[in-house]
Amino acid sequence: MSFIPLDQLRSSAKDFSLQPSAVSPSRRLPPWFKVEAKTGPDYLDIKQTMDRLQLHTICEEARCPNRWECWNARTATFLILGDICTRRCHYCSVETGRPLAIDHEEPKRVAEAVQALGLRHAVITSVNRDELEDGGAATFADTIRQTRQLSPDCTIEVLIPDFEGNAAALATVCAEKPEILNHNIETVKRLFPSLRPQGKYQRSLEVLALAKQLGMTTKSGLILGMGETLDEAREVLRDLRSVGCDIMTIGQYLQPTREHLPVARYYDPGEFAILKEEGSALGFTHVESGPLVRSSYHAEQQVP
């Protein structure tokens, strides 16, 4: 199967959600942005299982360009607490609005999907649910518990929101002892107010610091190309290490639709390689850095 540049794909590609309209009209993607457009038995098994159990994945909702690779390797990231987010980050394609009521059967269905797919590592994330007192922490905890009951040998990574700084909510999740506790900082301190207006840079650092104090292996992610400088990105790496963050992912921002933030800059693979080296030198146990890297990319390889 041949490699196809992302900006040459057409909407007729039935299972691909990053359409050409996602590319800033004034920019074409650099040649290193290529994906292998293919389905296979593992891809189809994940797709059919998610549809059958009425589950969401961030792979689809966030229009991840790695979906073919990951699903063909039998990895996917479950999106719990619905598919409508209470926040509006200007780079994110997840729908913003008024979420539906909590589906209390969802944790059981996630556990059934993990078991049916025979996953060795499960990644579970959610939309923000700021209207809930605990931000959805109890649903995270229930999902971990039920997954462990059906698949005791499967390692679990949770990618959580900031719970608006609710320490009790974070403790609820950490009490279930996921192997990795991920909270993405996403961007640099200067850009937080404009790109993540309902988030706070320092609060995200505090979430990771408290998770570390609660015994978690912690992880975070940074998106480049939204207007930051390399020195600002390096500052984020230093700040994350200062709170004991263990694992880091660094990837390139791709504009999901014309209504979202345009790409300010495409970093070349060499720059990602330099940041990987610098992150490792700072003490991160694992740094995944590259243009197509996303939070869950090669996640199973990062389990301590």
pLDDT of residue 256: 83
**264: in domain:** no
Q: What is the CB-side half-sphere exposure of residue 278 using CA atoms within 13 A?
A: 16
**258: in domain:** no
Q: Which of 19, 93, 79, 18 is nearest to 50 (CA)?
A: 79
Looking up tokens 């004991």 gives 244
pLDDT of residue 63: 63
What is the tally of structural domains in the chain?
A: 1
pLDDT of residue 20: 29
Averaged over successive runs of 10 residues, the pLDDT of the chain (304 residues) comes to: 34 31 53 71 78 77 60 73 91 88 95 91 93 97 98 95 97 98 97 95 98 98 97 98 98 89 95 97 97 79 78
pLDDT of residue 2: 31
pLDDT of residue 129: 96
Q: What contacts 89, CB < 8 A, 6 or more positions away?
A: 186, 195, 196, 197, 198, 199
**230: in domain:** no
Q: What DSSP letter does each residue of 105-162 carry, written as one string?
A: THHHHHHHHHHHHT-SEEEEEE---TTSTTTTHHHHHHHHHHHHHH-TT-EEEEE---
**298: in domain:** no
Phi-psi region of 59 (alpha: psi -120 to 50; beta: other; left: phi over 0): alpha
Q: Using the CB atoms, write b or e for 104-142: b if 16+ within 10 Å.
A: eebbbbbbbbbebbebebbbbbbbbbbebebbbbbbbbb
**304: in domain:** no
What's CA 138's distance to the chain center, in Å? 20
Range of the domain at 47: 3-219
CA 259 – CA 89 distance, rounded (Å) = 12
Number of other residues whose CB lies within 10 A of the CB of residue 257? 11
**187: in domain:** yes
**269: in domain:** no
pLDDT of residue 72: 57
**116: in domain:** yes
